Structure formats: C-alpha cells, structure tokens
Amino acid sequence: MADLHDLTALDQAAAIARGELTSAELVEHYLARVAAFGDTVGAFVTVTADRARAEAAALDAAPTDARGPLHGVPTAIKDLTMTAGVRTTFGSAAFADYVPPVDADVVGYLRAAGTVSLGKTTTSELGASCHAESLVAPPARNPWALGNTAGGSSGGAAAAVAAGLVAVAQGSDGGGSVRIPAAICGLVGYKPSRGVVSGGPLGFAGFGLPTHGALARTVTDAAAFLDAMAVPTVGEPYLAPPAPGGGYLGAARTAAPGPLRIGRFTAPMLVDTPVDPACVAAVDAAAAALSDAGHHVEDVAAPLTPDMWPLFETIWYVLSLAPVPPEKEPALLPLTRYLRARGGTVSASQLMGVLAQLQTRVRQGLAPLAGYDVLLSPVLAVPQAEIGWFTSAGEPADDFDRQRRFSPYCAIFNVTGQPSVTVPTGATTDGLPVGVLLSGRYGDDARLLAAAAQLERLAGRVDRHPAIWTDAPSATVNGV
C-alpha cells in the first residue's frame, strides 16, 4: 500500500475532499517523518507541530463551502519569509530569536487556500548564497546524496519535498534560489513572472529580482501552489500579467502548449567556465524529446556573455545590505560580511548607472531571441556539490566565485522578470538528478507551465525518489 507521502499535493487535497483522509492524519504522518529525518536532510530551522495540529483540526471541522483549493495539505514556509508569531531567522544567527509581528502576504494567501505549514525551512544567511549552510540549523542536504548540498537559498524547502517531509513547499528566488535547489534534488522549481505573486508587506525590494515560487514533485502541484499564491494585491509596485483562464493549474494539466519555437543553448552566461557533460546531456535529451513532440528546437547564442559579470556582481553586493542591527553584524557569516562590505562601497549614483547598463545589455542580448516561445538551457554548470565545497577555499571571495561558476544560467531571468522553471529530466552516471531550465516570455506563465508539464511526461522521472523516501520513522521517534 502506498504511504501518504506518496500522494501528490493535489492527490491529498482530493482525498480530503472525498472524505477518505483528514488533514490531521496528513499532518501527523508528516510530523513523524520530520522528527525522524528533518535534521538528517537539514530541512527545517523551526517546526511548528502544535500550531500545525491546531490548524489541521480547524480545517477538518470547516464546512465544505469554506474550504480552499488545497484544503488540509501540509506545506512549509522558507525561513526567509516572515511568518507572524513564528521564529523567522532569515538563516542568520543575528536573528536567531526574531519573531515577526506580521505575515508576508504569500503566507496569508497560502493559509487561505487551506494549506497547513509545518514550520520554517532552512535557507542561506539573508538568502545571499546558493548553498544553505548557516549557524542556525543543520546544513540543507540533498536527500539523494547526503554528503551533497541541497542548494540555496531555498535548500531546506527542496530537501523537505525530496525527502517526503511535505508534498510542496514555498520558496523564493532572487537569482535562482528556487530553481537551483530543485535541480539538485530532482524537483520542479517554478519562478513566476514578476508581479504574479505579491512581495508584500515589505513592498519594493531587490530591484524586482526576487519573487516567491514553488518547489514540488510535479508541475501540476507547482501550478496549484502558484494559483494559491497569485492573489492580486493592492499597492504592489509591479503590475501582474493577466492570469490564464482556468488558472495556472488548468494550463499545466493540459500539458499541451501548442507548437513551440524553442531556442537551445548550453554556453554559460556571466562566467567562462566548463559545463559538466551531464548538464549538457540533459539539455540534449530534453531538446530531442521536445523536437519529437513536434516543437521546433534550434541552437541560439546565450543572451548574455561573461563580460557582464561586473554589473551583476555590483547588484549582488548591494542586495546583501538588508537591515542588520550594528551590534549583530559580528554574528554574520564571513561570506555575508564580505558581500555587505563590498556593497557598502557602492554609491547611489554608481548603483543607478549599473542598473541602467544592465537593463540595456539584457535588452540587447534578448532582442535576437524575441521570436522564441521558450528558451532551453542547463540549470547549473555542475549538477552537484558537496557540503562545505563552496566555503572550503577559505576566503569569502573564493566562495562567491565558486557560486557564480556553479550557477551561471538562472539570474538573467530574475533581471528580465521572465518565468523560469526547472524540470528534472536526467541523471549523472551515479544516478543523481539533473534538471534543465525552461524560460518563457514575460507573462506567458501558462504556456511555460504547459510546456514543462509536457516535458515532465516525456522525461518520466516523477515517480523516482531517493532511498530515504521509503524509510519509515522509528517507533521511538519523540521518545514514544
């Protein structure tokens, strides 16, 4: 018999709607797995077991006409996302005891959709790196290979979904922070178009680069989660593109995007670095499958080149300048202090000039690609990295350089605001996941989700899981 965590999030919601399952049963099942395996994979900073049980009981008692589309489904919220009354550390010892007084908009919208949060998932400090190894929680590990990182900054969310601790989780993506962990852990990671999901209540931040997204086992689960988050919000600085008829889930369920013109490239952007053959092979296999499905796939030049790195570098330094009380600065990690020190030297006029140059260069790079519906590329230049590899070079500058060489593809689509999704399609020679990146036109999330769902079916990797997936919690979990 299948375990409850074998069910997708949509399967769980449907079973609850039919009266075959309760939210309380799901929450207890997942809490047992979190207690047994959460620290093993470094998924959670804070587990809110009692709160989750109370919310599940209330949801089970709610009348049918008061139930949301994901009614009773357990999830988790990234520790970078404010959650009222729940410790939210932003991945930093400097905020180890911080409890926000308000929810981020997205937290309230997910609650209104009927989801139940089991707690806060591990993130990198202030979301500043692509590995989630902080001082406030165990490092986020890839459930497929526990010696490897789960990536960042949404590494804990990816570890939780891949290990069967929740079916779907919230993440955020300012330069690949949803898509990188998803690729490493064999998941779907969806970054929507700018403006689709509210970034409030903090308002404008990060020059429009960051957005909330979803990490899930299937494209349809990610789309359903996006429907729950994509609530028009007054005061947002970016106008949301029109939502598709039938919602994002409806688009994903078709898995039929229509004939597409797809531009394929594997050359890394922003840095001249070798690309692992497994990453290239995954793109080649995806291109062949999409071509066989009737789409026109052709090679194109990468829209950006390594000489643009100084522009991105400057912006990343400035993005690290989140407000931190001066007396807490010594508690920050060396990498964070390094980035903030560099960011502090950037003047307002210099920043404005860099932003203008970057937008100009991005527009120039994308102009030749305007006729393509989807761009296909690797997610990463290397499919996996060991825990501690980024910091092992010793100097924060070397850590930062290793990160850009590891992930030279994702960040451009944060600058442009285009939707972008990781789809697991391949594997390394030792069986670890490899994903590809599909990126669509701005506002064309529906077509991108349909294309991702089609590729997911063609790749046939949905039912593959790491060994920890079938492990059962010990009878002595929590001392029972």
From the list 335, 299, 290, the residue with the least C-alpha distance to 317 is: 335
Q: Does any domain span residue 2? A: no
- The C-alpha atoms of residue 269 and residue 395 are separated, in whole angstroms, by 24
Q: How many CB atoms are located within 10 Å of the residue 336 CB?
A: 24
- The C-alpha atoms of residue 76 and residue 82 are separated, in whole angstroms, by 12
Q: Does any domain span residue 41? A: yes
From the list 99, 170, 93, 167, the residue with the least C-alpha distance to 134 is: 93
Q: Identify the pLDDT of residue 477.
A: 45
Q: What is the pLDDT of residues 368-400, one digit of tens each?
A: 999 999 999 999 999 999 999 999 988 999 999
Asked whether residue 351 carries a pLDDT value surpassing 60, the answer given is yes
Q: CA-CA-CA-CA torsion for 302, 385, 129, 415, nearest 10 degrees?
A: 20
Q: Identify the pLDDT of residue 479.
A: 36
Q: What is the pLDDT of residues 251-303, one digit of tens each?
A: 999 999 999 999 999 999 989 999 999 999 999 999 999 999 999 999 999 99
Counting the structural domains of the chain, the total is: 1
Lowest mean pLDDT among 13-27, 230-244, 277-291, 427-441: 230-244
Q: Does any domain span residue 220? A: yes
Lowest mean pLDDT among 10-24, 95-109, 203-217, 335-349: 203-217
- The C-alpha atoms of residue 42 and residue 313 are separated, in whole angstroms, by 29
- Residue 365 lies in domain: 7-479
**Type of residue at 72:** G
**Mean per-residue pLDDT, 396-424:** 97
232 burial class (0-12, 13-18, 19+ CB within 10 angstroms)?
exposed
Q: Identify the pLDDT of residue 205.
A: 66
Asked whether residue 164 carries a pLDDT value surpassing 80, the answer given is yes
**How far does Cα 134 stand from its chain's mean position?**
18
Q: Does any domain span residue 265? A: yes
Q: What is the pTM (predicted TM-score) of this model?
A: 0.97
Q: Does any domain span residue 37? A: yes
Place 241 in a pLDDT band, splitting at 50, 70 and 90. very high
Asked whether residue 478 carries a pLDDT value surpassing 70, the answer given is no
153 is catalytic: yes
Q: Does any domain span residue 173? A: yes
**Mean per-residue pLDDT, 325-346:** 97
Q: What is the pLDDT of residues 442-459, one digit of tens each?
A: 999 999 999 999 999 999
How many residues can be counted in the chain? 480
Which of 23, 129, 172, 177 is the catalytic position? 177
| DSSP SS3 for 336 | helix
The pair of structure tokens assigned to 433 is 């996941």
Q: What is the pLDDT of residues 100-137, one digit of tens each?
A: 999 999 999 999 999 999 999 999 999 999 999 999 99
Asked whether residue 304 carries a pLDDT value surpassing 60, the answer given is yes
328 is catalytic: no
Asked whether residue 57 carries a pLDDT value surpassing 70, the answer given is yes
- The C-alpha atoms of residue 436 and residue 469 are separated, in whole angstroms, by 23
**Mean per-residue pLDDT, 137-159:** 98
Question: Does residue 393 or residue 337 have the better pLDDT?
Answer: 337
Which of 23, 78, 172, 191 is the catalytic position? 78
Q: Identify the pLDDT of residue 2.
A: 78
Cα–Cα distances in Å, from 104 out to 71, 109, 111, 136, 166? 20, 9, 11, 21, 20
Q: Does any domain span residue 166? A: yes
Asked whether residue 474 carries a pLDDT value surpassing 80, the answer given is no
Question: Percent of the chain beyond pLDDT 70?
Answer: 98
* H-helix segments, 193-276: 219-229, 247-254
Q: Identify the pLDDT of residue 393.
A: 84
- What is the residue-averaged pLDDT of the chain? 96
Asked whether residue 420 carries a pLDDT value surpassing 80, the answer given is yes
What 8-state DSSP symbol labels residue 412?
H
**Mean per-residue pLDDT, 426-436:** 97
Q: Does any domain span residue 1? A: no
78 is catalytic: yes
**Mean per-residue pLDDT, 21-42:** 98
Which of 92, 153, 172, 377 is the catalytic position? 153
Q: Region of 418 please: left (phi>0), alpha (psi -120 to 50) or beta.
A: beta
Q: Residue 110's domain is classified under what CATH number?
A: 3.90.1300.10
